[in-house]
Amino acid sequence: MTQTVFITGASSGIGRSTAQLFQERGWNVAATMRNPDQAGDWLKGDRALALRLDVTDAHSIRAATEQAIAHFGAVDVLVNNAGYGAVGPFEASTPEQVERQIATNVTGFMNVTRAFLPHFRERRKDVIVSVSSVGGRITFPLYSVYHATKWAVEGFSEALVYELEPFGIRVKIIEPGPIKTDFYERSQDVMTKPGLTAYDGFVARAKPTLLKAGAEAPGPEIVARTIYRAATDGCHRLRYPANSASVLMLRRLLPTDVFMGVVKRLFIK
């Protein structure tokens, strides 16, 4: 029987690469995005369905969930991928930027997960794969608000394991390091405040290294392959690094102050 994956944020980057990979492997794919017109010619055929879903819109979550289940009969894997990054000194942030970051990366992610739990519980199986970040385990300069949301994804997902294992539902977290996508351009919300210049020197030192990491990184295909492995390996492993294993190992081995010193030397020269 053909299995079905439901993916949020599938219009580009990691989400699109993941949808394409599952499609190549013979899966039914419900690819969701805020504007399904962005799907393009790659998402065609009886086994592909483009759906409108904005994770900050509860009605669109409910509608997309119901449409996918009705169209394919069931959903076997949920991939929570939609997200974006607010970047810059925290003092420069606005309440609206912080709220949008939390609404997208935390509240929306939780709401999509909640929408599928009755279906997954009834089937007493299925997999929830959530794209977190290496930034859900460690921190870098200028990403304080983004880190707050990814640490929330990690904590929420880890706690959810206890609740869902009795129903045969497996919870997986994907932890990408730097990946060459539009995250460093279109998907970032740069936080600035008119008249606030105290951080200009700090930003000027840290930003080039952060941008270079993204420019020299592997493409989203490496994350898509990791997501596919997590969805299909049949085990209860929780965390899966993607271009991040070495830095996560270093974080585990070094005391916090020593590790932070390494980050400072790399990003705040």
pLDDT digits (tens, 9 = 90+) for 138-175: 999 999 999 999 999 999 999 999 999 999 999 999 99
pTM for this prediction: 0.93
Alpha-helical runs (H) found in 35-134: 58-72, 95-102, 108-123
pLDDT digits (tens, 9 = 90+) for 165-200: 999 999 999 999 989 876 655 556 789 999 999 999
Question: How far out from the chain centre does Cα 131 lie?
Answer: 3
Task: Specify whether 246 is catalytic.
Answer: no
* Half-sphere exposure of residue 197: CA atoms within 13 angstroms, side-chain side: 1
At residue 232, the pLDDT reads 97
What's the whole-number mean pLDDT along residues 244-259?
A: 94
pLDDT digits (tens, 9 = 90+) for 2-24: 999 999 999 889 999 999 999 99
Task: Specify whether 150 is catalytic.
Answer: yes
Of the residues 130, 150, 172, 240, only one is catalytic, namely 150
Question: How far out from the chain centre does Cα 219 lie?
Answer: 15
What does the mean pLDDT of the chain come to?
Answer: 92
Length of the chain: 269
Distance CA 59, CA 56 (A): 9
Task: Specify whether 180 is catalytic.
Answer: no
At residue 48, the pLDDT reads 92
Please name each of the domains of the chain with its CATH number.
4-267 (3.40.50.720)
Of the residues 132, 133, 157, 244, only one is catalytic, namely 132
At residue 228, the pLDDT reads 98
3-state secondary structure of 118: helix
* Half-sphere exposure of residue 91: CA atoms within 13 angstroms, side-chain side: 8
